[in-house]
Structure 1
């Protein structure tokens, strides 16, 4: 079978105009939309495998008792990939063949999280309900958005998200309720965004920066800043009952975003609407004046 070319990355633009509000923003999607594979696959998979090989303790972790769920997720992925992308993957004889890079992954492996981490561009977190709370109990997390797996593993989601402004008051109960009621076979997706001054995919730190960033100016913000979007997915493993929280990272130069008609104005309104605590959490404060000046200029140009 001939191998179809990898498509360009999707450009997600989830920032909203109007008054700021904390919302889950979940959408049900069909099975075929579980994962996103695009032209950035070769570079991202090389980086994921490098991190697993050289910084494993930072990107792979799991609590005892999650072994069956890890294997179940690997088996689910091995069934999904050839069905969804038959030109790129094939599975036979307990081996998943990756035609995109010529590798073969045995499905009977003592290290399923590392195997998962080196197969697709998504990160995967395992969530388990314990004593009425949802806990993070395992992950292959190669591209964290400024948080450390070792600091969060084993904690309930309320504590995992403790640094997020307004989460405890506005989102914790809806999130726990949604995850607790999620049925096998249902797949839900949401998007989260930030503008940052670092295009690196692996970012375990950096939240809450407030010191001035003199290197970012209105003149270079388009090339110095990026839009970082998390496409988050949720589904339940039917046998173990754990929930798989997927995170796919998209990083786009800001100039590419503001070149689209109306996007500079939309982003400007979204940045202005952020409460101070959220702007600080997103680490916008060091370059917020330069960003707004840049967006003002782009809006004046018709962006």
Structure 2
């Protein structure tokens, strides 16, 4: 039997604590990271736009040039750093068997850009009330809706997040980080949560009743890889979000499962009641921690 696929990123190993900012410098060649799910996820994004429209793709008037800047940036970057997945042929970008028309004037530039990558793309613009969401292709939200956050400032977007309320230290750090980000830097951070189904499009948290029907060993750890970079022409900031869904059962079958499980359990136990409620784990934290605490070392054939 083949070994379970190893998770791409494991921020729950203690390297990225929940409810912290945790920004790291990112080398340009690691900005966008396509993998074997590229074609499948691009097709899913295409279908989600067709089905949900402005619920996943929306832009303010006056953002057309910034959107085009994002598209141009990706058209230049992807074939250069990922020639195994991308090849530019005239007005077509060949992507793992897909042929998106990057010059289609019927589609807004951010739409075309979003269909090149697995990441969601959000353009942040500074105004009187700070940095706000001015345009977004958000196909794979993690328990939030674009219709509710669009046009809001960072303080307003993060208001429900424990420790990130307006006036808090973290809120101030985010605003200063946005203000000071230079066009020659890319930064990355990770976030993780628990899902109870394998759903990339996840605008709503599952109800308590739905969660009761899913055992902890059937849960998924939802990892968000988030990057930020300033667009040199518009001065806007491009926020990218890449989602990885890893089954808990696969994580606990890894050679370092004991360490991963212990770290994840410690972080879940350390969360305050407010943080647990925000993460949607009120009904399931005890069961999930119990599963993680029972994890034992994986036996090798030699043993």
Question: TM-score if structure 1 supplies the norm length?
Answer: 0.88
Distance apart, 1:289 and its partner CA: 1.9
Tell me, in whole angstroms, the C-alpha distance in 2 between the residues paired with 1:177 and 1:54. 37
Within-5 A mapping of 1:159-178: 159-168=156-165, 169-178=168-177
Tell me, in whole angstroms, the C-alpha distance in 1 between the residues paired with 2:6 and 2:29. 16
Tell me, in whole angstroms, the C-alpha distance in 1 between the residues paired with 2:18 and 2:109. 38
> 3-state SS of the aligned residue for 1:103?
coil
Q: Is the CA contact 1:196–1:284 (under 8 Å) kept in the aligned structure 2? A: no
Distance apart, 1:91 and its partner CA: 2.5
Distance apart, 1:9 and its partner CA: 7.8
Distance 1:171 1:29, change over 3 A: same
| Equivalent in the alignment of 2:191 | 192
Tell me, in whole angstroms, the C-alpha distance in 2 between the residues paired with 1:32 and 1:9. 22
Tell me, in whole angstroms, the C-alpha distance in 1 between the residues paired with 2:288 and 2:59. 39
Q: What CA deviation, in whole Å up to 9, does each residue of 1:126-169 have, x standing for no partner?
A: 00111251111110000000111011111101111111111122
| Equivalent in the alignment of 1:105 | 101
| Equivalent in the alignment of 2:292 | 295
Within-5 A mapping of 1:29-108: 29-93=26-90, 95-107=91-103
> 3-state SS of the aligned residue for 1:227?
strand
| Equivalent in the alignment of 2:241 | 247
Distance apart, 1:212 and its partner CA: 8.1
- Size of the alignment, in residue pairs? 287
Distance apart, 1:90 and its partner CA: 2.3
Distance 1:283 1:11, change over 3 A: same
Q: Is the CA contact 2:64–2:108 (under 8 Å) kept in the aligned structure 1? A: no
Q: What CA deviation, in whole Å up to 9, does each residue of 1:234-288 have, x standing for no partner?
A: 0011111100000000000001112232211111111111111111111111211
| Equivalent in the alignment of 1:5 | none
Tell me, in whole angstroms, the C-alpha distance in 1 between the residues paired with 2:210 and 2:129. 42
Distance apart, 1:87 and its partner CA: 2.9
Distance 1:225 1:21, change over 3 A: closer
Q: Is the CA contact 2:227–2:240 (under 8 Å) kept in the aligned structure 1? A: yes
* 1:231 and 2:239 are equivalent in the alignment: no
Q: Is the CA contact 2:192–2:224 (under 8 Å) kept in the aligned structure 1? A: yes
Q: Is the CA contact 2:125–2:133 (under 8 Å) kept in the aligned structure 1? A: yes
Please give the root-mean-square deviation of Cα atoms over the aligned residues, in Å: 2.1
> 3-state SS of the aligned residue for 2:87?
strand
Q: Which runs of 5+ in 1 are unaligned?
A: 1-7
Distance apart, 1:57 and its partner CA: 1.6
Q: What CA deviation, in whole Å up to 9, does each residue of 1:186-206 have, x standing for no partner?
A: 100000001121220001111
Q: Is the CA contact 1:136–1:155 (under 8 Å) kept in the aligned structure 2? A: yes
Moved over 6 A (4+): none
Distance 1:264 1:9, change over 3 A: closer
Distance apart, 1:214 and its partner CA: 2.5
* 1:181 and 2:180 are equivalent in the alignment: yes
* 1:258 and 2:252 are equivalent in the alignment: yes
| Equivalent in the alignment of 1:3 | none
Distance 1:258 1:10, change over 3 A: closer
Q: Is the CA contact 2:95–2:116 (under 8 Å) kept in the aligned structure 1? A: no
| Equivalent in the alignment of 2:131 | 134
> 3-state SS of the aligned residue for 1:83?
helix
